[in-house]
Amino acid sequence: MNEEFKKKYHEKYLAAKQKGVKFWPDIIYKDLIVSFGLFLLLVGLAAFLGVAQEPKADPNDANYIPRPEWYFLFLFEFLKFIPGAIEWVGTAVIPGIGVLILLLLPFIDKNPYRNWKKRKIGVAVMSLIVIGIIGLTVRAVITTPEQEEVALAGSIAEQVIQGQDLYSFWCAECHQPEGEGGEIIGVEGIEDGTLVKSISSIDEMWTRTDETFYNIIDLGQQDLGMPPYGLGYGGELQRSEIEDIVTFMRYTWDERAEIPEDAIIGIPSLAEGEVPSYEVHISIVAKRYCVSCHRPGKENNEYLMQTYEEILTTGDNADKNVIAGDLESYIIVTLHRESIFDASGEEIIGPMPPSKDLKAEYIDMFERWVLAGMPETADEATALSEPIMEDAGDAAPASEPETGTEATPP
């Protein structure tokens, strides 16, 4: 900047100052009016539009994905690049240095020009920062997984259905599919022959409130052998899931509560000569009576029953469990409460389900399914339904009438 320019600039500055407005009180006054206007606007928005709220904080909800407000997202994202052990560098030191530089900027950069074209370094640095902030924010938005919608209490019917599934999965192995209790057999972590009382009896329903049920499931009764299920106590169920189980128990077993029509998912019974399918029949029976034990992480000879493929292909005895057309399939034999022995005469599989007979109607279902070659979809089963009558009759004449169900209408 040469002397000539400096002089001219100074004159210009003085002239501008002469005819300009004063900071105090003129500018301050204008600022006051504008900020008061904004204040009224905010009060109005808060009063009439309200604030969008997230659901109430739930310490048991492990699915919640916590994220800062959008204007802090870049810092949050930045932190991901810093190893956990020196997290403080990312949370305090680097942002601190950034703020410090901003504070010191007027002292560091003494470039007198106002025109941005003449402030290359400043503009370049600021652009980099802005691009960095935008980039990190965008990256944070992209990498944030979708917040899973946790069943925000649907209708009673939805809760009952959801609760039924959860009950079958988590509880039926010990309390039995209808809550009737009795001897526990074949469940890891609890002694064979342990007795549990019925949790679906009138007595139970009239003496236990929903809250009591909730707490028992949440905390367990560990001295008696009932594990805790609440996430807060080392279990795997969310609050809403425990609530669904309680709703299921109440509406299904308490005669005072009327269960909504659309909450009743019966297992369709079979007409004469009708072939069941995995889709419509077997999957539901398996879910209610087998899956609580036949899923990963349970003692079950590695036999999983949660999908069509699993039923047909898993298990230590996968080649013998389900054989098309063969009533000697282990799945049928064990349902008839016979054990399977190995060559040395040692029992390798006990009766299934271990503690109690499956209803004759469902054993019949499994038999017809195996005889027909395990159709997966309802269409496949319908296609097999008529002709299979004769085939099945020829192949295994004994199977039909003996185990058939009494009450199925044609």
Binding residues vs ligand HEC (CB under 6 A): 170-171, 173-175, 186-187, 189-190, 194, 196-197, 199, 204, 208, 213, 216-217, 221, 224-227, 229, 245, 289-290, 292-294, 299-301, 303, 315-318, 321, 330-331, 334-335, 349-350, 352-354, 358
The string over 120-131, giving b where at least 16 C-beta atoms fall within 10 Å of a residue's C-beta and e elsewhere, is eeeeeeeeeeee
Closest by Cα among 122, 116, 405 to 268 = 405
Closest alpha carbon to 364 in 327, 389, 322? 327
Using the minimum distance from each CB to ligand HEC, give the nearer residue, 293 or 388. 293
Which single residue brings its beta carbon nearest to ligand HEC?
315
Which CA distances in Å does 187 have to 326, 346, 354?
A: 29, 20, 9
Burial (CB count within 10 angstroms: exposed 0-12, middle 13-18, buried 19+), residue 56: exposed
Is there a cis peptide before residue 106, judged by omega within 30 degrees of 0? no
Tell me the C-alpha distance between 330 and 352, whole Å.
10
Tokens 């298990």 -> residue: 315
Query: Least distance (Å) from ligand HEC to the CB of residue 351?
Result: 8
Among 408, 128, 377, CA closest to 266: 408
* Distance separating alpha carbons of residues 336 and 327, to the nearest angstrom: 11
Residue 158: closest CA among 244, 237, 238, 236: 244
Q: Name the minimum Å distance from CB 334 to ligand HEC.
A: 5
Query: Which residue, 236 or 272, is less far from ligand HEC as judged by CB?
Result: 236
Look up tokens 């503009």; give the residue. Answer: 123
> Both tokens of residue 2?
């040469």
In sequence order, what are the residues at sequence separation of 6 or more whose Cβ sits closer than 8 angstroms to the Cβ of residue 126?
none
Nearer residue to ligand HEC within complex by CB, 140 or 304: 304
**Cβ nearer to ligand HEC, comparing 76 with 167:** 167
Using the minimum distance from each CB to ligand HEC, give the nearer residue, 247 or 385: 247
> Is 325 within 8 Å of 373 (Cβ atoms)?
yes
Query: Of 180 and 391, which CB lies nearer to ligand HEC in the complex structure?
Result: 180
In angstroms, what is the minimal distance from the CB of 398 to ligand HEC? 20
Would you say the C-alpha torsion 14, 18, 21, 25 has a positive or negative sign? positive
CA–CA dist 252, 245 (Å, integer): 10
CB of 177 to ligand HEC, least distance (A): 8
Closer residue to ligand HEC, CB minimum distance, 90 or 351: 351
Question: Measured from the CB of residue 156, what is the shortest distance to ligand HEC in angstroms?
Answer: 18
Closest among 327, 309, 314 to 369, alpha carbons compared: 327
Q: Which is nearer to ligand HEC, 208 or 281 (CB)?
A: 208
Residue 136 or 166: which CB sits closer to ligand HEC? 166
